[in-house]
């Protein structure tokens, strides 16, 4: 039976048709995605806090590769530098040097303690202990003080002790290994905020230290923004390759596609 254009049923059909037409039109309109544009090296140079935060989200391996590509230099520490537990951190270097010297001076290491008390949030305590593989450069007391002051972590070119306390408070430390010895009576404070040699890598005050389960990388401050941008690109490429390889089951094709290995 035909519907009259004046009938209520016909009016309902027109309304439903109009609604469906609008819905289809809305679905056909492409969605606009407003993503933040990637930060440039200039952006990071102008905002050091944002740069440091970004370094906390890139992999140490990508940072190391970026440095090698840009500077053609080695700035990573060796396999000897081990974390006391799986960890990831980034921060600015606060450097300290201990000089090997037998002594009975109660103030021989006071400068080391003052250096810790001078540091704050985001600092990484980087210590050179001369010939110190079997000497604990730090332990639970120093780690507790660093943690209380907001340090990001510590990197010790020497030994570390009091691991139960450091693990209890969750303070991340890289060192050459656990040892029960003390530096008291055997070492003297040699200076802070000076260039130090940490596991064969020169570290300057305020260099950026990036550490994760792959190891420790030192980023020269003058190149930190450029290295970060390059490392982010390497990270993005590698992370995009994982699903590609899983889908197509070919690493050779992934390398051709993304140019990263």
What's the pLDDT score for residue 238? 74
Q: Considering the domain boundaries, does residue 53 fall inside one?
A: no
pLDDT at 14 (0 to 100) = 56
pLDDT on residue 51:
97
Backbone angles phi, psi at 194, to 5 degrees: -130, 160
Beta strand pairing call for 123-129 and 89-100: parallel
In a domain, 116, yes or no: yes
Report the C-alpha gap between 32 and 152 in whole angstroms: 39
> Looking at the 3D structure of the chain, how many domains does it have?
1
- Is-contact 228 41, C-beta < 8 A? yes
- Is 81 within a domain? yes
| Per-residue model confidence (pLDDT) at position 246 | 76
In a domain, 248, yes or no: no
Among 230, 129, 257, residue whose Cα is nearest residue 181: 129
Could you tell me which of 36, 46, 59 has the C-alpha nearest to residue 228?
59
Q: Does the residue 129 lie in any domain?
A: yes
Identify whether 209 is part of a domain: yes
The pairing of strands 215-219 and 208-212 is: antiparallel
Q: Which residues pair with 109 in a beta bridge?
A: none
49 three-state secondary structure: helix
Query: Which of 169, 158, 105 has the alpha carbon at shortest distance from 134?
Result: 158
The whole-model pTM stands at: 0.82
Q: What are phi and psi of 225, to 5 degrees?
A: -70, -45
Q: Is residue 260 part of a domain?
A: no
* Pairwise CA distance, residues 103 & 100, whole Å: 10
Ordered mean pLDDT values, 10 residues apiece, the chain (261 residues): 48 50 42 60 96 97 97 97 96 98 97 97 98 97 98 98 98 97 97 98 98 98 98 83 73 74 67
Each residue's pLDDT tens digit, 116-145: 999 999 999 999 999 999 999 999 999 999
pLDDT in tens, 88-123: 999 999 999 999 999 999 999 999 999 999 999 999
Contact 98, 126 (CB under 8 A): no
Expressed as residue numbers, the domain containing 200 is 76-219
- Residue 80 belongs to domain with CATH number: 3.50.30.40
């Amino acid at each position: 039976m035909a519907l009259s254009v004046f009938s209520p049923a016909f009016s309902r059909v027109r309304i439903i048709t109009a609604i469906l037409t609008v819905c289809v039109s809305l679905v056909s309109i492409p969605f606009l995605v407003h993503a933040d544009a990637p930060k440039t090296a200039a952006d990071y140079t102008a905002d050091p806090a944002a740069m440091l935060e970004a370094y906390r989200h890139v992999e140490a391996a990508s940072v190391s590769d970026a440095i090698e590509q840009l500077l053609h230099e080695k700035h990573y520490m060796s396999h000897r530098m081990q974390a006391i537990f799986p960890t990831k951190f980034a921060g600015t270097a606060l450097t300290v040097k201990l000089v090997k010297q037998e002594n009975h001076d109660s103030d021989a290491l006071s400068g080391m303690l003052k250096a810790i008390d001078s540091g704050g949030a985001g600092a990484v305590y980087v210590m050179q202990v001369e010939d110190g593989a079997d000497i604990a450069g730090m332990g639970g007391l120093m780690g507790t003080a660093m943690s209380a002051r907001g340090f990001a972590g510590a990197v010790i070119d020497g030994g570390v002790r009091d691991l139960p306390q450091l693990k209890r408070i969750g303070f991340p430390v890289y060192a050459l290994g656990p040892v029960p010895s003390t530096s008291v009576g055997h070492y003297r404070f040699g200076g802070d905020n000076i260039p130090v040699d940490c596991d064969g890598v020169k570290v300057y005050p305020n260099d950026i230290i990036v550490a994760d389960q792959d190891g420790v990388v030192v980023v020269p401050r003058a190149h930190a923004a450029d290295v970060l941008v390059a490392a982010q690109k390497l990270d993005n490429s590698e992370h995009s390759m994982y699903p590609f390889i899983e889908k197509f089951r070919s690493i050779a094709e992934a390398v051709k596609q993304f140019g990263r290995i």
